[in-house]
Every structure is written in structure tokens, then in C-alpha cells.
Chain A
């Protein structure tokens, strides 16, 4: 229901959704064609029924059934096939868009890998249940929106050919429906929105209390909260009913207009039949068709909530897709194969010139005109207080965040993100673990590494107690934060040893290790012969550094 409210804020037709749904355009057109064809069959059905009823009533003979019944059988069979076809087309349309959005959202996530928002959990929810809400949008709402124009037109013309007066009544009443609904929407919008906020807050209270129950129990406060819950539940019901009284109004208007219009048409033709102004067959024909004119318009209202839910889901998807790729942000750059050999005369393996990084929405840059120089074979350590931008600098180096200004040079040559990644073995602060064994995770560094090489790298990383065959669950479950870091260091070591990287970039590599292990890991990493750029605040690491790069707050 929250989703519906969110979606309702933007009109039900989002051009971005239509654009992205171009793949499904054919299905949508086919869906509308099926709907229109169904309307034509409905006209034939009405004609056959009206003729049969009228003729039998007036002549008391059954000859008319000879053609009317086979016609009806054919028409109903056709309608049944079209109903089946409609479901299938609707599914295809929705499925294509969903797949496209899944791909785009995941690609956006990879283009902006270190984004804190949205959380992993919300991405998962969005791409699974969230996008399913688009089913309703594509399979029901969107085709219905078009049919709400075509079907009344087709059937209206049919009524017009039979009886002008009835067609006039229909033509006057059908447009009233959207007009009145819009009026109701406008007049109640502000009120509904205000109530909605209160209601959402109250609805969240139960979830908040349940989720926080373990915490409440620890402080002996769980039972005492029941009374507060009872109060908030009563208030929640009051507020919700208040919202519903208003929001059901538009449905009421819709139903009233539609069925009252049918009633008016029926009574009008009834009296004209009495006065011989209309023959019975035509009267039946109009009576059968009249509700069919209003049906698609009513269906638009019925499916509006489907649409709103779908729109809200699409909205979240677009927020991720567009958030990851504002102007100037680099797309996913694949890792490029490492360049060959050392180039003599270029002692600086890495140079960063005038790097400036600012996060969107914040005026002051995190890094302002920072330059860094690291020579081949050095252990360079980035130091500075928490929040000064050490991790951001590494992220910019890896191409995870865009640099506002500045150049990255490897051996004196400017290198793009893909080229840099082709030379760097990276260990983040909170290393990610793929599902599989510890060995699978280490082999991210070199897929072809033999078992003893994996073992060796784990030992180098201070993880001699780690069994490579141990399964790692979701989110590295089963491994402590320190163990995850050791696996990641082993991964980076493997990368270097396989010759696919010569620069180690480490963000707090030894946090979670005790002093002795820490020393041996650092020695082992230096022993690999690679250049190391590390963030650390530990005295033991700083003491070993060949070069200290102190960062001070920007501005």
C-alpha cells in the first residue's frame, strides 16, 4: 500500500518505462489488438443474441436459432482463444521488461560498486518481489489504458449504427467518468497524503517493536510496550479507515456513473419500444452492448493500484540505474590484461596528480587536489584521521568512484580504470565473499591456481588455520571479519604471484589480526616483490613503511 502511494505521486505513465519497454511494444500492440478484436466479437455476439431473442419473442418460431447458435458458438470460442492469448501476451510483455530492468539495475550496481545506498537487501527485494509488481502494470494496466479508448469507440460506433439516441447517451456519460475521478482525486489529494503519512508511521510501529523485541527483553521492557502497541493499533485503525473512506470514493463514483448510465440507457430504450420507436431486436442489441462500453473504463480504475505498485517498483529501479550513471560517471570498465614488464627509467610505479573527489549532493570535496607518488617495490602507507578520505582515495584509484579532477599514471603513462585494475590486487575494508569454498574465494585472484598455490597464499595471509575446502555461506557467513580479511589478502597475494598484478592496494589489511600474525603477514606481502599501497593506522605497519603519505582534511 505504501508502494501504491509512492507511485501515485508520478503519473501512471512514465516515459522512461515506455522507452525501456520498447522490447515489449510488439506484445503491447498485440495485446491491444486482441482486446479490440474481442470487442468486435462482442458486437457479433450481441447481434446474434438480440436477433434470436427478438425473433423468437415476436414470431414464436425457432428458425433463427439455425444461424444464431452456430454463430454464438464460434464467437464464444473465439473469445476464449483471445482470452488465453491475452494472458500469454501480457506475461511476455512483463517478463521482457523485468529482465531488462534486472540487467540494468545490476549493471548500475557494478558501475557504482561501493555505493552505500541502496542497501544490498533493498536491491534483492526490488529485483525479486519488487519487479513482480510490474506484472500488473504491463499485463493489466497498460493494455487496459489503450483499450479504454479503443473499445468504447468500437462498441460506440456499433450502437450508433443501431440507435442514435442511445449512442448519444453513451457518448455523454463515458467522458464523465475520467472527469469525475480526476475531480475526486484533486479535492482529496492533500488530505489523503497527510493521512497516509500518519498511517504509515503507525503501521510501522508493530514491525519496529517486533524487530526490536530481543533488545526490549534484555532491558526487561518487552511486556510494558504491549499497552503502547494497543494504543497505536487503535489509532492506526482510525487513521486507516479515514483514508479508506476517502480513497474508496473514486471507486464509488466510477461504479455509480457506469451502472447508472446503463440503467438510463435501458429505461430509455424500454419506453421507446413501448411507443414503437424502436424494434425489440435493436433494443436488445443496445442493452447487451451498453455495459461493455463502460467495462474497460472501469477496469482502468480497478487496475490502477496494480499500476501504482508497478510504477513504484520501476521508480526505485530507475533511481538506482540513473543514480549510478549521472553525467561524467564512468561505466563499468572491464579489467584489462596486465602490461608487460618493467619500463626502465620510470621509477614511479604509481602517480596520482591533483586528485579531487566530491560526493554527489555534498558541496565540499572529500579529496581536494591530492597528489601521491609510489615507487616500485615500496611499502607506502596512507595515514590520517578517520573520515579524511583514505578509503575514498583507494576507491578513486580503483575507479569505484569518479574523480572530479586529476590523473592516474602507471609508470608515467596515464591509465584508465580498466588499465589500473589490470595491474592492481585490491583488498577492501569489508571484503566480499562469493558463495562457495574458501578456495573459490581465493581463486578470484587466479581461477587456474592449483590447490597447493591456494594453500600457500592462505598461509602468507596469516590464514594457516583456514581450510580451503570450508564452505562460505551468504555474506561470508561462517567466517569472522578477521578471517574474511585473511581470505581477501590471500586472494590478492595469489593475484600477484600469478603475475597478473604488481601493485597491492590494501585498506586496513591487518585489522583483526594479533601483533605476531600482523608482522608475518606484512613481511610475506613485502616478500612477494610487489609494490604496496596500504591504508593503516597501526604503529607496526607505519614503522615498516618506506613512505608515509599523510592525508589531511580537505579545504
Chain B
């Protein structure tokens, strides 16, 4: 596994780089190559300007050969350096990303994730870890190398004409740092103001797409469409301010470059006339800033990428720095086991670090019995399930189960792999015969070799639920918790599924979280988790 990340302050460069051996060296190499590329294009202009000026003094051609070769070399080296830099930079970025992905995975695997509100967190972590690539490829390497090119060029200018060097540094600071920073600050404030409108647009689109049949049926489609488009219109007007700022910023950059060129002419010209500057150097001083323009643009882009990537990195760190909650992964007992009762003994439930949601729950579910757990949303039904599964500790009292407790989630994930591998989640040692048996028991006539999920064919809601069910059959469980087994299924599909579940698992103790009257009717008893009260029926 990777080296543990030490907690540290600052933007977390060390935190990011430490676990990957050689990452710092490779990043330095990429930066050096990027510097080479940037310096090559500046040098191409500078040496060309010198070559022309020197040529105008009509020396023997021999004196120009070195410069001529230099011009050609710089012409080639820019592209080559750029190519190598991109490869090395992406390689480091991918290494860092892989290490961060592994750490994120192992960390999240240790913290209990059961419960519906975690979906957003997981989706965000995935894209945030992705953004870390940009930190190296689009911010660190181009930003540092562009700054180095400016420093190196200014140093060379300082030797020729200190005054032009000062102007060059000044215009680079204004054009490459100050103006982009100001523009970014202004647009960030505006972006923050735009964010709610973007959210509003997303919500409007979501609502319209989700309720389209109802809107059309009740003749409210046009009104709703106009409402969403009004938000779109507002967003466009807000975005326009951003475009205005970016426009002013790029105009200012042109002016900053102009200052460097004109100042070099105004400073260098009199120096040549006065004989204090070699005439061949005048063109170098005046024309080189033209080539710097590209370098300044790189700095602007680096700044824009930095904001996004650093925010993503910060969020990933927050996730990784958070204390694990509960057991995370379960340790299931092994071997042949006999079903026994689920016993809740004066149980108090609640999320670790959170309040007690219910206490004094006493319940015995014997093998062959089924108990419906009912109550309004958010009352702690899933918390009870997590406690029974041993994913989080009880707040007080105890849970006793015999053997392995299986769990059928309403949103069980179907992995992007074969049906067989999906069934093996329930029992990694299941052979082909066992898998075929589990699929048959779940009433699923699918080819075990068929690939499903993101890359494969999609399954219907009923098929997905049955595939999740087959994991329970493959796993040989002695007690079962069902979480909303009929939710999001149409009535016929739900009924057929429940028939199969109750007939095939009837000999086990069943704890059924539900608010579907059909499901409640099938259960022997009810445990109602009301607002602050627990009732048994």
C-alpha cells in the first residue's frame, strides 16, 4: 500500500507528493522541460533579432554561423521540449492520481457509508480526485516554468540594459500576475453570485424532465418551459459580466506587453545614439518581449486552473482527514451455521457522534418470522439496519445475531462487470454451479457471462433488484435485513419479487424496513419507529 499521508498545513503539496516515490523529481524534470520549451521560443526571437542586426554589419559569414545554427536549434527544441514535458508531466499526474485514488478508496472503505445521503459525497470525491491531475499538468508545471522564463529573460536583459530589465519585470508582473489575479478575484465573486442561478437552472431542468408527463397532461408544459428559460436568460446576463471582465483583462495584457516593447525602444534607442548600448542589442531588447506574450498567457491559464484544482484538493483532504465512522467493512463469520433469532435488547441507535434516535428497543425475530420496521422517512430505519449489521455500534443495549446477516438494499450497486462477478460479491468462493443456482433462486434467467453496468447492457429495475437478491442466495446467510424491497418497482414486478423473497427466505428471521402497505401486510409483526417513540404491533 502507499505511504500514509501525514497531516500538514498549507495547500498540501507535501501531503500530495509524499506517498509517490520520485514524484518530486519527475515534477522538477517536467518543469525544467517546460522551461526549456518556453525559453526556446524566447531565444528563437532574441537570437534571430541579433542575427539580423549583426548581419547588417556585414561581417564574414563565418561569424554568423553559430547564431544561424542557434536559431534552427531553438526552432526544433521548442517542440521537442514541449512534447517531452507533456509526457513527463502527465506521467507524474497520473501517478499522484493513482496514489490518491487508492488512499481515498481505502479510507472510505473504513468508514460506514450505508445510508442514502452519501451518494453526493461519493460522486464529488470521484470528480475531485480527477481534478488533482490539473494541479500538476495545468498549474504547477506551466506556472513555475513560465515564471522561470520571465526571471531568466529579465536576468539576461539586466546584463544588457538594467532599465529595460526593470520595465520587463514590471510589465510581466502586471500582465502575468496582477491583471489575471484581479480579474479572477472579480469573476470569482461574480461566479459565487452566479452559482445559485446555475443551481436554479439545474433544478428547473430536473423538475421539468422528471415531471414532463404530468406537465403535458395538465397543460402546464409551456408555463414551466418559459419559467426555466427565464432562469437561463438570467444566467446569460450574469455570465456576460464575466466575459466583460475577461475581455478587459486580455486588453490589459496586450497593453502590458506594449509597455515593455515601447519602453525598450525609448530606453535602448537613446542608449544606442549615445553609444552606451551595442547597436546589435537594440533589436534583441525590443523584439524579445513580443515572444514573451505567449508565456504570459500560460500564466493566466495556470491561475485559472489553480483555483478549481486547489478547491478540489482541499475537499479530498477533508474527506481523507475525517475520522472513520463505524466499522466500515464487515467481518462476516465463516463456516456452516444454523439460523438463530435476531435479538435487540434494550437497544439504543444513533449514528456515531450523532444523537440517539431511538432507545429501549426490545425485539426478538425468530427464524421463520418476519417483522416490518415502519416509520416516517428520516426516523432512523436505515440506522437500525446499520446497527443490526454491525456497521455502527449500538448507543446502548445490544444486538445478538446468529451467523451471517445479509442485507438487501433498495439501491444495491450493480458493478460494471459480468453477472457472475456481481453475484460473487455475496460469496467470493462461489463456483459456476453455485452462481447458476443463486441466479435461478432469484428468478433470474440471465447469462452469467453477460457484462452489465456502465459499460455493458443495462438491467431493468426488477432485474437489478433480483441480481442483488442472488448475492444473498450465493452467500448462505442466517438472517436477512430487507430495506424497502418494493420501492421504485412497479406493482406487478414488486409483487412477484416479494413472493420469491418470502417463500425462499421464509425459514430465516427477516427484518423488513418498509412503508409499503403490501409489504407490511406480508409481515408477521410491526416495529414502528415513530417520532421519539417506539411501538410494537
Task: List the interface of chain A (C-beta within 8 A of B).
Answer: 49, 52-53, 56-58, 60-62, 65, 68-69, 72-73, 76-77, 79-81, 83-88, 90-92, 95, 98-99, 102-103, 106-107, 109-110, 113-114, 120-121, 123-124, 127-128, 201, 204-226, 229-230, 233-234, 236-237, 240-241, 244-245, 248-249, 251-256, 259-264, 266-267, 269-271, 273-274, 276, 280, 283-284, 287-288, 291, 332, 334-335, 385-386, 398-400, 421-422, 424, 426, 428-429, 431-435, 444-445, 474-475, 478, 480-482, 488, 491, 495, 508, 511-514, 517, 537-538
Contacts and interface: CB of A to CB of B under 8 A. Distances in A.
B282 A53 contact: yes
Contacts of B80: 252, 256
Given A209-B105, A224-B428, A274-B55, A65 B265 contact: yes
Given A211-B123, A254-B79, A263-B44, 10 more contacts: A83-B251, A91-B242, A99-B233, A102-B205, A127-B205, A206-B129, A248-B86, A259-B78, A444-B218, A481-B487
Nearest to A254: B79
A120 B206 contact: yes
A201 B455 contact: yes
B233 to A, nearest CB: 7
A436 B348 CA distance: 35
How many interface residues does chain B have, given as a range?
A: 35 or more
Interface in B124-161: 125-126, 129
A188 to B, nearest CB: 14
Interface of chain B: mostly helix, strand, loop or mixed: helix
B347 to A, nearest CB: 20
A512 B516 contact: yes
Contacts of A478: 377
Given A262-B44, A288-B290, A508-B490, A210 B105 contact: yes
Given A110-B212, A217-B329, A274-B59, A84 B258 contact: no
Contacts of A73: 258, 262
A223 B206 contact: no
Contact of B209 (A123, A256, A399): A123
B51 A86 contact: no
A474 B208 CA distance: 11
Contacts of B218: 335, 426, 444-445, 491, 495
A260 B409 contact: no
A57 B283 contact: yes
A274 B283 contact: no
Interface string B248-292: 101111110110011001100110110100011011001100110
B329 A255 contact: no
Given A99-B232, A110-B208, A287-B48, A208 B75 contact: no
Given A226-B106, A241-B94, A212 B413 contact: yes
A83 B296 CA distance: 15
B216 A110 contact: yes
Given A201-B455, A259-B41, A424-B217, A208 B283 contact: no
B118 interface: yes
A488 B214 contact: yes
A72 B52 contact: no
B279 A57 contact: yes
A4 B405 CA distance: 46
B258 A62 contact: no
B491 A204 contact: no
A474 B211 CA distance: 11
A444 B216 contact: no
Contacts of A270: 48, 51-52, 55, 64, 67-68, 71
Contacts of A385: 492
A110 B220 CA distance: 10
A222 B329 contact: yes
Contact of A65 (B95, B269, B493): B269
Nearest to B103: A226
The 5 residue pairs across chains A and B that have the minimum distance between CB atoms: A432-B211, A335-B219, A263-B75, A91-B243, A255-B79
Interface string B195-225: 0001001110111111111111111111011
Interface stretch (B22-30, B109-117, B364-372, B504-512): B109-117
Given A110-B212, A218-B407, A248-B86, A210 B125 contact: yes
Contacts of B492: 385-386, 537
Contact of A428 (B208, B213, B518): B213
A242 B48 CA distance: 37
Interface of B: 1, 40-41, 44-45, 48-49, 51-53, 55-56, 58-59, 61, 64, 67-68, 71-72, 74-76, 78-80, 82-83, 86-87, 90-91, 94-95, 98, 101-102, 104-106, 108-110, 112-115, 118, 122-123, 125-126, 129, 198, 201-203, 205-222, 224-225, 228-229, 232-233, 236, 239-240, 242-244, 246-248, 250-255, 257-258, 261-262, 265-266, 269-270, 272-273, 275, 279-280, 282-283, 286-287, 290-291, 328-332, 377, 389, 391, 407, 409, 412-413, 415-416, 425-426, 428, 453-455, 468, 471, 475, 487-488, 490-493, 515-518, 520-521
Contact of B102 (A102, A226, A283, A426): A226
Nearest to B408: A218
Given A270-B68, A432-B214, A514-B517, A79 B254 contact: yes
A267 B51 contact: yes
Contacts of B1: 226, 230
Q: Among B202, B242, B269, B407, which residue has the most Cβ atoms of chain A within 10 A? A: B269
Contact of B207 (A91, A230, A474): A474
Interface of chain A: mostly helix, strand, loop or mixed: helix
A103 B229 contact: yes
A53 B214 contact: no
Nearest to A123: B209
Nearest to A204: B454
Nearest to A286: B52
B205 A128 contact: yes
20 contacts: A53-B53, A56-B273, A60-B275, A73-B258, A79-B258, A80-B258, A86-B250, A99-B229, A121-B206, A124-B202, A128-B198, A226-B102, A234-B98, A263-B74, A270-B51, A287-B49, A400-B213, A432-B212, A511-B491, A537-B491
Nearest to A261: B75
A214 B413 contact: yes
A221 B475 CA distance: 12
A421 B82 contact: no
A126 B225 CA distance: 16
A76 B254 contact: yes
A224 B206 CA distance: 37
Q: Among B58, B61, B243, which residue has the most Cβ atoms of chain A within 10 A? A: B243
A284 B283 contact: yes
A237 B93 CA distance: 10
B108 A213 contact: yes
A496 B432 CA distance: 57
Contacts of B201: 127-128
Contacts of A84: 247-248, 250-251
A58 B269 CA distance: 12
Contacts of B279: 56-57, 60
B52 A90 contact: no
A215 B425 contact: yes
A399 to B, nearest CB: 8
A517 B109 CA distance: 44
Contact of B225 (A107, A127, A426, A445): A107
A498 B324 CA distance: 56
A121 B75 CA distance: 49
A213 B109 contact: yes
A110 B221 contact: yes
Contacts of B330: 217-220
Contacts of A103: 225, 229, 232
Contacts of A432: 210-215
Q: Among A255, A475, A478, which residue has the most Cβ atoms of chain B within 10 A? A: A255
A259 B391 CA distance: 62
Q: Among A123, A267, A538, which residue has the most Cβ atoms of chain B within 10 A? A: A267
B246 A87 contact: yes
